[in-house]
Structure 1
Amino acid sequence: MNALILAGSRGGTDPVAAYAGVAHKALIELGGETLLARVARATEEAGCVPVVSTDDAEVAAEARRLGCRVLPSAPGPSASVAEALAAVGAPLLVTTADHALLEAGWVRRFVADTPADADVAVLLARRDVIDAALPGTRRTYLRFADGDWSGCNLFLLANHRAAGAIHLWRLVEADRKRPWRIIRRFGLRMLIAYLRGRLTLARAVERLGELAEVRAAVVASPAGLAAVDVDKPADLDAVRRVIAARG
């Protein structure tokens, strides 16, 4: 399948790129490779064909040097994914250029563990698994009745019906500065259950599937490092330590 690597920019100066002294985060070098090269290599080793979505000329040049197909990114990640799905079709794996520690084995296991009837799947890792892999790391967690979970920047769009999930994503993305509209989409009962700590991850995913009219699935990652991306300078320092420890 194709593997879409999101390498767009959000405008302005990226603090991680500035910290590393490069023009774009995807061009940061670790272990003699750019972040983009590391991610592309991991997807290729997993049996995928890497496709890079970017609006940056230097990143596009690096992608072509690596032998990747390049697609122009759209305003926002959800729109970029929607355009890529239309261009290359499904199944489509989606990840990001700052997934610095991505391993082919994680990708293969994620795809293998995704239920056969799922239209869309997302990889998540539990807090205890992440803490065991990288103690002290600070991640963003979704807190459910059955544990705290963090995203792993790996998604699988299994078929054309996954477009419904992207549409919901675009609506939520558009309302990110109007949280009351996001809450209204998910329903008051859902919000109350979440605030009271009674909402399970399974029920949340089921509700997302209902709204997007898809079969959605969550796959649990046994690898805590799968949840580590490079969103801030401290993340880059942590990733450098991991790579140095591996030699």
Structure 2
Amino acid sequence: MVEAIVLAGSLNDGKLREISREPYEALIPLAGRPMVEYVLEALEESPSISRIIVVGPPALKDLQLSKVATVVESTFSVMDNLRLGLEQVSGEKHVLLATSDIPLLTAAAVEDFIARCRAREGDLFYSIVDRETSEKAFPGIQRTYVKLRDGTFTGGNLFYFHPRIVETGWSFAEKMINLRKEPLKMCARLGFLFILRLLLGQLSIADVERRVEKLLGIKGRAIISP
């Protein structure tokens, strides 16, 4: 069984502000329900998830879901919120990390991602979705895409990792998470040649995985979710 952390503390100060005046992205209503509830529902229905830790605004403490073990009040830092969530993890096993802005997440997708992670050797896994699959499933939704030799992908905003690796590259990870929607700046942290090869579409998933291992000493793996 896997414990899940949901980061729901992002302020609503970007483009979504034009849609809703809710102070947090997680609270933006979709069909009458806060966006984060759809994420939590998918995790609630996933057989592999044993308990859920939510890091977000106090308003989420009223959640009525059996697997939500605790709601920790968030700060304004993504990495601080991650640390707060990890402090609530009860064991020393891999954990699943999800953001609150993926309301189209399903229990089947969660199960598939976890199964694919367990089938590979690695310390840190990140879900990616190819452009064709993403646009077919969710037409009209704007996403950030990166062109690689293997295809064109967008991030799935699901991570699977062992808590022990976090301290190894905390500072680097904080910068990378803050740049998760800016692929060019993210590649700049990985080296100039990465920028050039990205622009030329010459990077492969394996190239990125090797670079992460060289920089951090951990085995990072991209998981292509169907």
Q: TM-score category by the smaller chain?
A: 0.7 to 0.9
Corresponding position of 1:236: none
Alpha-carbon distance in structure 2 between the residues aligned to 1:133 and 1:121: 23
Alpha-carbon distance in structure 2 between the residues aligned to 1:101 and 1:147: 22
Q: Which segment is superposed worse, 12-21 or 94-103?
A: 12-21
Corresponding position of 1:198: 202
Corresponding position of 1:75: 76
Corresponding position of 1:50: 52
Q: 1:102 aligns with which of 93, 101, 105?
A: 105
1:130–1:216 distance in 2 versus 1, CA, 3 Å: same
Partner amino acid, structure 2, of 1:100: P
User: Gaps (5+ residues) in structure 1?
Assistant: 223-247
Alpha-carbon distance in structure 2 between the residues aligned to 1:119 and 1:94: 14
Instruction: Give 1:163-242 correspondences, 5 Å limit.
Output: 163-164=167-168, 166-172=170-176, 185-222=189-226
Partner amino acid, structure 1, of 2:52: P
Q: Which segment is superposed worse, 79-88 or 105-114?
A: 79-88
Alpha-carbon distance in structure 1 between the residues aligned to 2:15 and 2:198: 32
Partner amino acid, structure 2, of 1:72: E
Structure whose residues are more often helix by fraction: 1
Q: Is the 8 A contact 2:8 2:55 kept in 1?
A: yes
Residue 65 of structure 2 is aligned to residue 66 of structure 1: yes
3-state SS in 1 of match to 2:19: helix
Task: Note the alpha carbon deviations across 1:73-108, whole angstroms, 9 max, x for none.
Answer: 233223322332243154211112221111111011
Q: Is the 8 A contact 1:5 1:53 kept in 2?
A: yes
Aligned length: 216
Corresponding position of 1:227: none
Residue 134 of structure 2 is aligned to residue 135 of structure 1: no
Corresponding position of 1:228: none
Partner amino acid, structure 1, of 2:128: L
3-state SS in 2 of match to 1:87: coil
Partner amino acid, structure 2, of 1:107: V
Partner amino acid, structure 2, of 1:103: T
1:173–1:13 distance in 2 versus 1, CA, 3 Å: closer
| CA positional deviation for 1:180 | 10
Q: Percent identity?
A: 26
Task: Note the alpha carbon deviations across 1:15-70, whole angstroms, 9 max, x for none.
Answer: 5366245443323444554322222121121132111101x2223x333x435211
Corresponding position of 1:92: 95
| CA positional deviation for 1:181 | 8.6
Alpha-carbon distance in structure 1 between the residues aligned to 2:154 and 2:30: 24
Alpha-carbon distance in structure 2 between the residues aligned to 1:108 and 1:180: 31
Corresponding position of 1:121: 125
1:183–1:123 distance in 2 versus 1, CA, 3 Å: closer
Partner amino acid, structure 1, of 2:147: R
Partner amino acid, structure 1, of 2:88: A
| TM-score, with length taken from structure 2 | 0.80
3-state SS in 2 of match to 1:193: helix
Structure whose residues are more often strand by fraction: 2
Q: Is the 8 A contact 2:9 2:24 kept in 1?
A: no
Q: Which segment is superposed worse, 138-147 or 183-192?
A: 183-192
1:37–1:210 distance in 2 versus 1, CA, 3 Å: same
Corresponding position of 2:7: 6
User: Gaps (5+ residues) in structure 2?
Assistant: none
| TM-score, with length taken from structure 1 | 0.74
Q: Is the 8 A contact 2:124 2:218 kept in 1?
A: yes
Give the superposed CA RMSD.
Answer: 2.9
